A = this chain, B = another copy of it.
């Protein structure tokens, strides 16, 4: 599975044999069983993830209610908002499928960036790309009606409907489960 990481990096930079060896040696690819909680509310976070295969969900417990805020799938990075800081997380990260992911930590990152400076440039480019995508998704969400949000999901991430239960999809779309059922019925018609 280290090969998957090398394959991904090779889309953007030349991966030298030394870098490939360092990736394999770091043993940073791990497997997590479905239902594994990677981060809990109140915990510090010293790990970030790059999903090779599987799905990680972020959710908050707000007044006892489970509120899904994001689903991360293949080739997406999951960097907790408090990653590497001495601040407790406000939310949870859970594998909703068996998940294979590269697992980073601040020390490993610093070591790899120092050894392979081109990784620093790549990380900056990827961070900027993720940032741009987040901004666009947030804007789209803000401007869309609940029905438009569901239609966008059907268009952009139809796989999620097979991977996650509907009550999680509903809160991810910022709507009540009953409203989602109504929207789905209307669309089928």
Contact = CB atoms under 8 A, between A and B. Distances in A.
A139 B138 CA distance: 9
Contact of A127 (B82, B121, B124): B124
A81 B135 contact: yes
A186 interface: no
A130 to B, nearest CB: 6
Interface in A155-175: 171-172, 174
Interface stretch (A16-24, A27-35, A62-70, A95-103): A62-70
A11 interface: no
Interface residues of A, number: 36
Contacts of A123: 124
B127 A70 contact: no
A71 interface: no
Interface string A67-99: 101100000000101110000001100000000
Contact of A134 (B91, B138, B172, B174): B138
Contacts of A91: 139
A132 interface: yes
A142 interface: yes
A44 interface: no
Given A69-B143, A91-B139, A127-B127, 7 more contacts: A62-B143, A70-B135, A90-B136, A123-B124, A141-B141, A142-B172, A143-B171
A142 B141 CA distance: 9
A58 to B, nearest CB: 7
A137 interface: yes
Interface string A4-24: 000000000000000000000
Contacts of A117: 117
